Structure 1
C-alpha cells in the first residue's frame, strides 16, 4: 500500500512538473510572438511656456500659457504579422496662464471668453486605433481605423504643443518602391488643447460631416515630390504640391504651392466670415545650404486671395477643428499669406558646440492697401540644446525670443485699420517660448 501511495505521489509530481514546463514553454513562445516582442512603450515629459505681447486687434494684451505634459505612447507589434493596436495617453497640468491664454494652444479653455480663470489642465487618450499591414518588401499596405494623429498626411497635419490634435476615421498608405499613395477619411477631431471630441466646422460654426484627402508621393535620396488633394464636405477644396531636390550634398532646393477653392457652404457664408471670395493660392520657394556646423536657408513667397472691399488671405486650415498642411517658411509667428503679399525669409544656424545650435530667423512681408504699402516683419533668435551624453540622449531644450512689427486690424479679418490720415498703424509685438522635453523608452 505504501508503495502504491509513493508511486502515486511521484506520478503526480511528474505530471505537475510537466504541466509547469508546458506552461513556461507557452509563455516563452508567447513572448516570442511579434505582437509582444515588437511592442514599444515610451514616456514623454514635455514642459512648454509660450508668450506673446501685442495690440493688433485690441488694446495691448499679454497672451501667455505654461504647462507640463506627461505622455504615454504604446505601440504593439503585429499579431499573425497582420493586425495590431496603438494608443497614446496624455495628461496636462496647468502651471500658469494670463487672459488670452487660449491663443497659445496649450491649456484647456473651460469656459467662455478669454479669462485666465478658465485655464485648466486636461487628460485624454488622443490615439487609439487598430492597424493592419499587408504585402511584402516590394508592395505593401498599412491601414488604420480609430483616433489617430495625421502628420503631413494629404492636406492634413498635426500640431504638437503639450499634446497633438487627432482625427477619427480611416487612413491607409499603399507603397511601391519610391512611390506611395495615402488616403484618409475622417469625421471628428480632438484639438491639441482639449480633451473633447468636436465636429469639423465652417467659419460660421456649421458642422461638416467629413474631410477626405489623398496624396501621391515620390521620394528617393535626392528628390521629394508630392501632390495632395482634399475636400471638406461642401465647404472647401484644397490642393498641395511640395518638392525638395538635392543637386549636391550641401544644397537643397524646395518649392510649395497651396490652393483653396470655395464650395457651396463657403460661398453661402457672410462676407465677414470669409478669408477669400472664390479661391486663394500661396506660392513659395526656398534654398538651403548645409555645412557641418552651419546652415543658411532663404525663402520667397507670394499670395493671391482676392476679397471684395477687404484684404483676403490664404487660410491654413481646410475646416475649423482641423490643422492644414503648410510647410513653407512663410508660416511664422504672423503668417505671411495676405492677398498680394510678397514675403522674404532667411534662417541661419550655427553649432558653437556639438550639442548646441543657435539660429536667427528674419521674416519680412509687404502688400498694398488703399495707397499704403503695409510692411510686417519679425526677428527671432532661437537655441536648441540636445546633449550627446548617452544618459541624456533623449533630452532637448528649445528656446526662442523675438520682436515683430505688424499693423492694427479688425478682430475677425486681416484688413488694416486706417487712421484719420488714411494711413495704416504699426503694431509691435514681443514673443517667446521655451520647450523642455525628455523621452524614456520604457519597453
Structure 2
C-alpha cells in the first residue's frame, strides 16, 4: 500500500523513474544495432508508455480517504427480564479507497485498505472489530472471544474491460467485491469481499454475468478464510470445526427498461446449497410524487450430500413487496413479506453458505434495525416515513420513524408451532453539512426497539432488545 500511496503522492518522480526504467530495459534489446533512430524510437515509446500509465493510474483514478466513528449500545433482556449490555462498541475507522482508470483503456486496479481502531473496552461481537477467539490476555476476554483493532486490505483486485458502451465485457479478479446473480459483497464499515472472479457482459440493455469465489472476508476478520459449514470459518480452535465448502458460484442476468429492471440469479455453494432469485423494480411519477415499486422472490434448497448429511430436503422461499413514495420532503416506505422454510430451518438463509461465510443479494422489504423478519412462517409488514427539513431552511437535517409487525412466527422448532408475533419501533435523526468548512460531514443517530414476543428468532423468548447507534462519517478526495 505504501508503494501505491507514494506513486500517487509523487507522480512526477514516479513518471521520471518509470521512463528511465523502461528505457533502460528497452535499450539492451538492440545492443548490437547502432542505428540512433532505433534508440530514439525506443526512448519515445517508453515515454509514451509512461504517459499512458500516469493517465490511467493517476489522472483518471479516484483516491479517497474515509473516516468513520461508530458508537453502539445494544441491550438485551436477561433471564430476570432486566436489560443488560449485549453489544457496547466504540470504533474509529480510517480507509483508503483507490480506483484506477484503465491502462490502454483496458486494465486497471482497485484497492481498499483500512484500519478499524478499538476505542476503550467493548462488549459482545460488534461485527466490525477483529473478533479474536483466543485472546486470554485481553481485558475484555470472556472465555469465548474478544475484539481488537486491526489493519486489513479487503480489496486488491485487477480489473479489465473490452468493447464499448453498447457491447462489452468487464472482468475483475483477485481480492474483490462481487455483485451479480445471488452473490453480493455487503458492508460493515468496510466492504466484505472474496477471493474470486466476476465477469459481466453487456449487450445494450442486457447484462449477463458469472462469478466464482473460494475464500471470504468479513469486516471482523483480518484475513481471507475458507468458506465452511460453521459460522466462524474454523477460526475458533475450541469450537466445532466445519467442513470446507470448496467454492460458491453464480450466474445472473439483468434487463433494464424504461423506468425499471428485471434481475435474475441462480447460485450454488458446492455440495451445500442452491438458490435462485427474481427481482423486479419499476418507478414512475404520480403527480408530483415519485413512486418506486419492488417485488422480490428468493428460493433455495439445501443439498443432500456427504457434506451436509441431510435427506429429504424441500425448497424454501421468501417473497417481499415494497413501495417507496417520495412526495415533497416526505419519503414513505411500505413493505410486506412472507417466509417459508418448510420447518427445516429457524430463519431463511439467503446465502450459499452458513451465515458469516459469504454474503447474498437479498432485497428484503420488511427489515428493522434489530430484526430481519425472516423467521420461518413469518408474515410481516413495515411502514416508515422520513422527512427532510429543507422547507425550514435546514436541508441537511433529516428524521424518520418506522414500525414493523410480524405474525405466524415460529415459536417452537421441535413442535413446528407458529403462533408467535414480533414487533419493532425505530427512529432516526441525522444532519449532513452541505456547505462551509465541514461540508460532507455526516452525523446520524439510530434508535431501535425490538419486542421478541414468543418467537425463537433470537433464542430465549424474553430476548427483547434496544439499540442506539451514533455514526459520524467524513470523506476527503486525495486528488
Shorter-chain TM band: 0.7 to 0.9
Question: What residue in structure 2 maps to residue 43 of structure 1?
Answer: 65
1:346/1:56 Cα in 2 relative to 1: closer, same or farther (>3 Å)? farther
1:34 & 1:119 partners in 2: Cα distance?
39
Aligned-residue Cα RMSD (Å) equals 3.0
Of 303, 311, 318 in structure 2, the residue corresponding to residue 263 of structure 1 is 303
CA contact (8 A) 1:56 1:406 kept: no
**Distance in 1 between residues matched to 2:444 and 2:46, nearest whole Å:** 48
Q: Distance in 1 between matches of 2:89 and 2:459?
A: 28
2:359 maps to which residue?
A: 323
- Cα distance in 1 for partners of 2:446, 2:167 equals 43
Structure 1 runs not aligned, ≥5 long: 1-17, 418-424
Answer yes or no: is the 8 Å Cα contact 1:399–1:433 preserved in 2.
Answer: yes
Shift of 1:251: 1.4
Answer yes or no: is the 8 Å Cα contact 2:90–2:122 preserved in 1.
Answer: no
2:126 pairs with 1:85 = no
Q: Which residues of structure 2 form unaligned runs of 5+?
A: 1-39, 231-240
1:340 is paired with a residue of what secondary structure? coil
Show the counterpart of 2:247: 210
Residue 294 of structure 1 pairs with residue 330 of structure 2: yes
Q: Which residue of 2 aligns with 1:8?
A: none
Q: How many residues align?
A: 405
Counterpart Cα distance in 1 of 2:79 and 2:182 = 30
Is 1:384 aligned to 2:447, yes or no? no
- Structure 1 contact 126–166 (Cα < 8 Å) conserved: yes
Q: Which of 164, 168, 185 in structure 2 is aligned with 1:158? A: 185
- Cα distance, 1:218 vs. partner? 1.6
Aligned-partner SS, 1:36? helix
C-alpha offsets along residues 372-420 of structure 1, whole Å, 9 cap, x if unaligned?
A: 73111110101232221064443222210122100467xxx74976xxx
Aligned twin of 2:478: 442
1:254 aligns with 2:294: yes
1:135-159, Cα deviation, whole Å (9 max, x unpaired): 0121011101100122x43212223
Deviation at 1:31, TM superposition (A): 7.3
Question: Structure 1's 107 and 408: CA in aligned 2 closer, same or farther, altered over 3 A?
Answer: farther
Tell me the CA shift for residue 429 of structure 1.
1.4
| Residue 408 (structure 2) aligned to one of 367, 377, 382 | 367
Give the 3-state SS of the residue equivalent to 2:180 in structure 1: coil
Q: Does 1:178 align with 2:212?
A: no
- Asked if 1:187 is matched to 2:249, the reply is no
| Shift, 1:28, TM fit | 9.0
Larger mean CA deviation between 182-191 and 362-371 belongs to 362-371
Matched, 1:74 2:108: no
Residue 201 of structure 1 deviates from its aligned partner by 1.3
Q: Distance in 2 between matches of 1:372 and 1:319?
A: 26
Q: Does 1:400 align with 2:446?
A: yes
- How many Å separate the matches in 1 of 2:314 and 2:100? 46
Q: CA deviation at 1:67?
A: 0.5
Equivalent pair of 1:277/1:307 in contact (CA under 8 Å):
no
**How many angstroms does 1:318 deviate by?**
2.1
Residue in structure 2 matched with residue 131 of structure 1 by the alignment: 159
SS, match of residue 33 in structure 1: helix
Is 1:141 matched up with 2:169? Answer: yes
1:223 to 260, 266, 271: 260
Retained in 2: the 8 A contact 1:47–1:162? no
Deviations 1:291-318 (A, max 9, x none): 131111111111111226xx63212322
Separation in 1, partners of 2:380, 2:210? 32
Contact 1:57 1:408 survives alignment (8 Å): no
In structure 2, do the counterparts of structure 1 residues 246 and 120 end up closer, same or farther at CA, with 3 Å as the change threshold?
Answer: same
Q: Would the alpha carbon gap of residues 28 and 81 (structure 1) be closer, same or farther in structure 2, given more than 3 Å must change?
A: closer
Contact 2:396-2:434 within 8 A present in 1 as well: yes
Is the 8 Å Cα contact of residues 70 and 469 (structure 2) preserved in structure 1? yes
Q: Are 1:163 and 1:193, in contact at CA under 8 Å, matched by a contact in 2? A: no
Q: Is the 8 A contact 1:65 1:106 kept in 2?
A: no
Deviation at 1:134, TM superposition (A): 0.1
Q: State the SS of the aligned residue for 2:285.
A: coil
Which residue is 1:422 aligned to? none
